Every structure is written in structure tokens, then in C-alpha cells.
A and B are shown apart, each in its own frame.
Chain A
Amino acid sequence: MSAAGIEAAARDIAARGESAPRPARDPVNQAMVNNWVEAIGDANPVYTDEEYARRSIHGGLVAPPAMAQVWTMAGLHGTRADDDPLGAMMAVLDEAGYTSVVATDSEQTYHRYLRPGEHVAASTRLESVVGPKRTALGEGWFVTTRTTWWVGGEAVADMVFRVLKFAPGGQKPSTPDTSAVLRPVISRDTEFFWAGTRAGELRIQRWGGTLRHPPGPLPPDGDLAAKPDWVVAEGTGTVYSYVVHHHPKVPGRTAPFVVALVELTEGVRVLGELLDVRPGDVRIGLPVEVTFVRVDDELTLPAWKVRA
């Protein structure tokens, strides 16, 4: 998937807004507080000594604010909610080859103390996805989410959380190895087409007034005396039909990808990959224009991009 494809997916996920509040497994409870303060080394008795806490400004036991995230941890065998935007964005980046992750920073804001017995729920939205950035770990994307903890309708804490999702080893994975694409068999009848793509032209065979694609050695009326030339297509058209390819793997491409049969403005149909588009946004009739993907000195493939 290209950078534009990742950005498009990020916009899509961000547009879904906040996930549904996911309730904590247990209410705020003393046992968890006791363990946590012991592990952290926080000896403040306002968290553990009921008598001391009653006389404090709080008037009773409270939980350490920094435990906000503890309450809504999913547990050892927990899974992300289906609408969790971080999970969705991680999947997009995994698919694009950015398979490793490191948390970079986390900023929490506490609006009030929690008390034993309160039941919190957390919801998350995707704030931003920035990249690709070159880092010491490798090329990657910074993914920022904002999580809010709620008690009923009241926001009690929130957190801005940022991770770097990267391709290890300094590799640049976002473009698959295009040199692996299957190469066309080229004949005397079709070589002008491939010479055209190398020159950045979409050439369509012409027999007098009749355009023909794919090209061949004779005009549609079979006139052996006729000689063809070609026109350079304007390069605009609309999607006549399309496929979103998922399985199996295709050399030189990262699934899912879209292949579109495009009806050119000139009237003939030409097939090519439709680049930098979310599969869900493709429809029959979508306006597209030609672009060219250079594989090497010998081969350039025609492809499509959505026309603005």
C-alpha cells in the first residue's frame, strides 16, 4: 500500500470517531490498588489507609489517578474491541509492511480522583497518523490516539498515546518489489503500446477512424491492405468494472489492491491497477485518469488513479 493509501485509510478510521465506551473488567477496588502502589513504590497512605484517608482532603479512600489505564486493561487474553481505532490502524500498517511497534509517549490528564466501587469505561479515537518518517528503528508512521475514561457521562481522565509503527531493519516496505511483476509477451502488433507506456503515453491502435484495444494485426473489418497507426489517448475515462484482489499473492503487489477495466473517453476499454484508493471507494462509473508505473528501463505499466 502506498503512503496515500495509508493516509486514506487513516482518514477513514478517524472519521468513524470515538469507539463505544468499553467497561472495565472490575470496579475500582482496593485489592488492585494495594498491589499497584506496592509495585510502583507509592507509600502515600491516602490510597491504602482508610482512617488516614477519611481525615484527608478526600474524606475517604481514593485510587491513584495514574491507575486510570489499569482499570480498563483487557487482561492477559483480552482482545481489542471491533471498533477500536488503534487496532484498525495497526492492521492497515501491518498489511503495508510496517510490522513492528514501539510506544513513544503518553500524556495523561486526570480530571478527578476515582473512589473504590466506581465503574469506569474507556473510549478511544484516532487523532493522527503521520509519516512515513525515517527513524533509527526504520521507516515508520506515528499513530496518535486519544482515550477518555468515563464514569457515567463524566470524563474522569484522558490520555494522548502515540506509537511508532515501523518496518524493522531500515527497510522501506511501502512499495512492493515491482520488479517482480509478470512481464508482458510483446509481439510486432503490440510493441507500439509498450513503447508508448515507456514514453508516458497511452497509445491506442487506430485503423482509419476505428480505435482498437487490445491491438492486433488487422482492423475489425479484416482488410489485409489496411495499415494501422495510433493515437495517444487523453488518458481519462470511467471505471467499467473492477476487482478487489485479496488472495492469492500476486507478484509485485500487496493485497488488497484494485484492478479496473476502464472505458476511455475515446471509447475503448483498457485494464490497469487503480492506485492509491480505498477499495470501498471504488464504484462503476468512477472517473479516473491514466498514470504510469515504471518497473525498469524496459517495462512501464499503465495504471489508473482517481480523477480529482
Chain B
Amino acid sequence: MTLANRAAIAGIGATEFSKDSGRSELRLAVEAVSAALADAGLRPSDVDGLVTFTMDGNAEIAVARELGIPELSFFSRIHYGGGAAAATVQQAAMAVATGVADVVVAYRAFNERSGHRFGQVSSAAAGQVNTSGVDNGFHYPMGLATPAATVAMVARRYLHDYGATSEDFGRVAVVDRKHAATNPNAWFHGKPITLADHQASRWVAEPLRLLDCCQESDGGVALVVTAAERARDLRRPPALIAAAAQGSGPGQYVMTSYYRDDLAALPEMGVVGGQLWRQSGITRDDVDVAVLYDHFTPYVLIQLEELGFCGRGEAKDFIRDGTLELDGSLPLNPHGGQLGEAYIHGMNGIAEAVRQVRGTAANQVPGARHVLVTAGTGVPTSGLILAAA
């Protein structure tokens, strides 16, 4: 038995994406879940499972209470920051595939810009009394204390090992912002950037510039997962979960896997990719759209390598001639990604994958049938392949 095609995403919902939502995170979560249920044509009373990130501030029971979900038979949380995104859908799919639950909603909602900003130094992350706190003891006190800085350490080595340049990172940002520019729901709608803009943006943590870093956003996204057969009877065409996988690699740390032989790599994403191809039976050539986690541009290049779209160190050449454009061979983040649309910890990328499979995206890739989605990078992570029914 495999998980392939046994469950589907039947509904998607989101709040607006902003810099100051003006309401509580719980309110955002409830609005997103409510919108996703309406999209699926389901009611709160149909829901019996909820899944979110360990980082989410909204308890499953709080969401259930507010929405009037009477009983939950399944609730679960996934750890490791944005690495959880696709894994929340995997949890939901496993629950419905095994009959543990019928309708599971995965959600993520936060005031990440107006409230607690992940880009700042987190003394809580440094001071947590557990193994991650002990791990962070070898990094935070030494001054390496922000997500951008932790990525910059790997990015610097990547530039050195493969002769890539800051402009190669910038090309990822330019594509994302180009796509966001024509997505009315994107924060950067109507605001494309040029490579010169990227090169002129200030240093955040060299070799990362401001425009290598994703936005900070307020907002919420929810995804309704149910069994594939049931999804076929609902309002929307189902987005089949052709594969769902988590991955952690050897010598794994959270953002600081600096002690492996090869620093300029993301082996945990290789672990995810291998499962996705095997589980779904589809090949890289079958992928019509790639929604790759883009909190920082260098990790998009390394993901392309880890997922096998090109060889190690070859991403800079792979993306050079329009590969990632909407009419290229591997359209990237048609919604604009987290650099362009919003940073909802990867969940907005899964919603975009559903729209692409349905054929309803703002920047629709014609005839898209298979969409690859990845979750947070630099951390233990996850991925999905969604397919048209």
C-alpha cells in the first residue's frame, strides 16, 4: 500500500496577505479554514481532523471551538519551522487514507510581520531547554543568530564551490517578482524588479542581499484534505496527492547543518525528492510547475540540484535561459513565491499548486497536470506532488 492518489486537496482558503492584519492570529486561522471549507463545499461539522505546524500559535482545539467543529478524532503538529508545510498535508492524507479521519484541514496563520518577526534574532530559539537549544548554543552566542545569516553561510560556500555569483541568486528573485507582478493576490502585485534592482539592494548577511530574502507577512492559509473518492463528489476538481514525503538528512541540524562533508547541499531535500518520484511514479519531465520554497534565493538553486533537475552546481546554468518562466520548461512559483506573493510558511505555495492543477491560477500554466511543491529548506523538510484527477 502506498499513499499515492489515496487522498486529495478538495478546498483551499486564505486571508488577504498583508503587513498588518489588524486582527488576532486565531481570527486569521479561522477565516482561512472557513474559506477553505466553503471552497470545498463542506461545513465545519464535516471536519474531524486538524493539522498545523508546531510553530503555529493557534491550537487545534481553539480553531475547532471558534468554528463549531464538534469533535476531532485526529490532531497533529509538524515540527521544524517551514519544513512542516507539505508534511501537514502528508499527515492529513495519511489520516484519511487509513480511515482515522474523514476531513482534515491543514492550516497556518500568523502575524509574522506585525507580530513576532522570524527574521529578527530569537532569544527564545537560543534559550530553549531541549536538544535544539543545545545545538543553537554553538551558533547563536557566536553571532550567527538570524535565518538569513544561517543561509548565508551555506550560500558563501556554494558560490565558492561552483563559481556562482550574487546575480545567479538574483535571477530567482527576478522570476518570482515577475510572476507576483501579475498575481492580484500578491503583495508585490504590479511591482516587478530587475537584476540591477537586486544588485543594488543592501546587504543583509553577505552574500545575501535584501532582495534575496522573502517578505514578512501577516495572513493565513488552509487546505482541506479528504479521501480521493470523496473529493470527486465535492464542488471542486480534486488535486490528487500523488506523493507526499518528509525528509531529514545525515548530520541534520535546524538551519545549521554545517558539519557534513558537503556544506553547499540540502541532502534532506534529496530524501524528500527520492520518495516523491518513487511514490508518484512520475518523472522530472512530467513536472509541469515547480513551487519551490523560496525564503532565500540560494536554496532554490540548491533544491533544483537536490531534486535532480540539474547536476550539482549546475543550477546557475540551468535557470539562465528562461527555464523558470511561465513558458519555460520548469515554470517556478507562478504565484510569485514567498518573495513575491507572501510568506505564509510555504502553505500559500501549496494553495497555488492546487489552483494550477485546477486550471484557475492567476498565472496559469496551460495544461498543468503535475505540480511539485517543496517546504522549508535548511531544516528537516517535506514535499508534495499534486496531480489533476
Contacts and interface: CB of A to CB of B under 8 A. Distances in A.
B134 A190 contact: yes
B142 A246 contact: no
Nearest to B146: A248
Contacts of A257: 143
Contacts of B258: 241, 261, 269, 271
Given A241-B156, A271-B139, A284-B157, A250 B259 contact: no
B59 interface: no
B163 interface: no
Interface string A256-278: 11010100000011111100000
Interface hub of A243, A245, A253, A273 (most chain B Cβ within 10 A): A243
A246 B145 CA distance: 12
Contacts of A77: none
Contacts of A183: 126-127, 141
A301 interface: yes
B137 A184 contact: yes
Contacts of A60: none
Contacts of A112: none
A242 B156 contact: yes
A252 B144 CA distance: 12
A105 B263 CA distance: 54
A243 B137 contact: no
A182 B153 contact: no
Size bin of chain B's contact surface: 35 or more
A243 B212 CA distance: 15
Interface residues of A, number: 41
B119 interface: yes
A214 B131 CA distance: 12
Nearest to A283: B160
B351 interface: no
Interface in B156-215: 156-157, 160, 202-206
Contacts of A170: none
Given A182-B127, A184-B138, A185-B128, A243 B121 contact: no
Interface string A178-203: 00011111110110000000000000
Interface in B221-260: 256, 258-259
Contacts of B136: 184-185
B259 A185 contact: no
Interface string A115-138: 000000000000000000000000
B133 interface: yes
B132 to A, nearest CB: 9
A77 to B, nearest CB: 24
B139 A190 contact: no
A185 B126 CA distance: 7
Given A190-B134, A241-B160, A246-B206, A181 B141 contact: yes
A180 to B, nearest CB: 10
A243 B141 contact: no
Interface string B98-137: 0000000000000000000001110100111111011111
B143 A259 contact: yes
A284 B137 CA distance: 24
Contact of A248 (B119, B141, B160, B259): B119
A251 B126 CA distance: 12
A241 B157 contact: yes
A214 B202 CA distance: 33
A138 B123 CA distance: 33
A306 to B, nearest CB: 17
Contacts of B385: none
**Residue of B119, B120, B142, B203 ringed by the most chain A CB atoms within 10 A:** B142
B143 A190 contact: no
B153 A242 contact: yes
B140 interface: yes
A303 interface: yes
Contacts of A189: 134
Contacts of A272: 142
Choose among B126, B128, B134, B204 the residue with the greatest number of A CB atoms under 10 Å from its CB: B134
Contacts of B372: none
Given A241-B160, A241-B263, A246-B203, A259 B153 contact: yes
Contacts of A65: none
Given A259-B143, A271-B258, A303-B142, A248 B120 contact: yes
Contacts of A299: 141
A263 B141 CA distance: 19
Contacts of A279: 206
A241 B153 CA distance: 6
A189 B204 CA distance: 34
A69 to B, nearest CB: 34
Contact of B149 (A186, A245, A269): A245
B154 interface: yes
Given A185-B128, A241-B157, 12 more contacts: A182-B127, A183-B126, A185-B127, A242-B153, A243-B144, A246-B203, A247-B202, A248-B119, A269-B259, A271-B256, A301-B142, A302-B142
Interface of A: 181-187, 189-190, 213-214, 240-253, 256-257, 259, 261, 268-273, 279, 284, 299, 301-303
Q: Which A-B residue pairs are the 3 nearest by beta carbons?
A: A184-B137, A185-B133, A244-B206
23 contacts: A184-B126, A184-B138, A184-B140, A184-B141, A185-B126, A185-B129, A213-B259, A214-B138, A241-B153, A241-B154, A242-B153, A243-B149, A244-B203, A244-B206, A246-B206, A247-B204, A248-B120, A251-B123, A259-B142, A261-B153, A269-B259, A271-B138, A299-B141
